[in-house]
Structure 1
């Protein structure tokens, strides 16, 4: 499974660690495929197209507070104009995109998809563990 967390403020990291501790106490993380970080929105639980402050995640990674919280999948308002910066900042294992490549709700735009893929590859110049 992939567990999604909505990032609003510094409390997101405590929420992840509480959830992982609960998971560990009842048998472990065997079925956990990743942790998805998305923007908090009152209007929607995912799919809002809103970005969040990626530096909070980068700072947590640098300080070691994300040790054991891998792989990270980044979501939230990603499109071709920002995905490169998001990848360079967060260093996620993967990114999730929906509305950032749509021409209308639920309708993908092939040009936007191609631009997104190109920008994703360019954003991963450091050749991290990013999966594409």
Structure 2
């Protein structure tokens, strides 16, 4: 995972096209009914076909049962599964062997001790996504809350750990986030929206442009 930009929570053909035309490396489709970005299996199937061959297709699931998992994989045929719930390392490894495709586990970060959670997942997962821990409110979603964590917490992270950075990123702060944390990839959802679940093509393009420029600067 090297200098990749992911736009998550895409739910219309128009905004998906905006992300693809702007050069997104990965596009994410959310299968979680409580989210304003949730897509049905039918819509997810159509969007996945639209993105095929143009970007890596990611389906985001939250503590999926075996049947939910099988349905999502069959309908969306994703290149990667993103697990955004409280899946244990054993469950992640089980899902990975069931779907026979790469799996990314999202872990919430709010304080230094949260980074210790990475270790048990290291061997059984292909990628790690570090997101802000959701606010402690009933309405909070597992992700996509537009909240950032203190990026300086990652200063002590083992640099051999490649991770995707998420949580509160937007076109204005993504460059600083990349400079401070040196992630392998960045992920945005609410930061390119004009309302819950409503993506803005101009913000998508601005985010990708800012991230590309920052990744290039980090290599110099």
Shorter-normalised TM range: 0.7 to 0.9
Partner SS state of residue 191, structure 2: helix
- 1:38 maps to which residue? 131
The structure number with the bigger radius of gyration is 2
Relative to its length, the structure with more helix (as a share) is 2
Shift, 1:19, TM fit: 3.5
Deviation digits for residues 61-98 of structure 1, max 9, x if unmatched? 3xxxx2543x2000000001100000011111111100
Q: 1:60 and 2:60 equivalent?
A: no
State whether structure 2 residue 109 is matched by structure 1 residue 17: no
Match of 2:9 in 1: none
What RMSD, in angstroms, separates the aligned Cα atoms of the two structures?
1.6
Paired position in structure 1 for 2:47: none
TM-score (norm: length of structure 1): 0.78
Cα distance, 1:10 vs. partner?
Answer: 1.0
Pick from 92, 96, 109: which aligns with 1:7? 109
Quick one: which of 179, 190, 202 aligns to 1:99? 190
The answer on whether the counterparts of 2:182 and 2:218 sit within 8 Å (CA) in structure 1 is no
For residues 18 and 10 of structure 1, the distance between their equivalents in structure 2, rounded to whole angstroms, comes to 16
2:120 and 2:159 map into 1 onto residues whose CA distance is: 14
Between the aligned partners of 2:182 and 2:201, the Cα distance in structure 1 is: 26
Q: Aligned partners of 2:209 and 2:159: how far apart in 1?
A: 30
Q: Does 1:127 align with 2:219?
A: yes
Residue 108 of structure 1 deviates from its aligned partner by 1.2
User: Hey, what's the Cα distance between the residues in 1 that align with 2:180 and 2:189?
Assistant: 20
The equivalent residue for 2:202 is 111
**TM-score, length basis structure 2:** 0.48
User: Partners of 2:189 and 2:126 in 1: how far apart?
Assistant: 20
Residue 126 (structure 1) shift: 2.2
Question: Do 2:109 and 2:133's aligned partners in 1 also have CA atoms closer than 8 Å?
Answer: yes
- Structure 1: any 5+ residue segments left out of the alignment? 21-27
> Which whole-Å CA distance do the structure 2 matches of 1:74 and 1:105 have between them?
21
SS in 2 for 1:50: coil
Q: Which runs of 4+ in 1 moved over 4 A?
A: none
Distance 2:186 2:121 in 1: 22
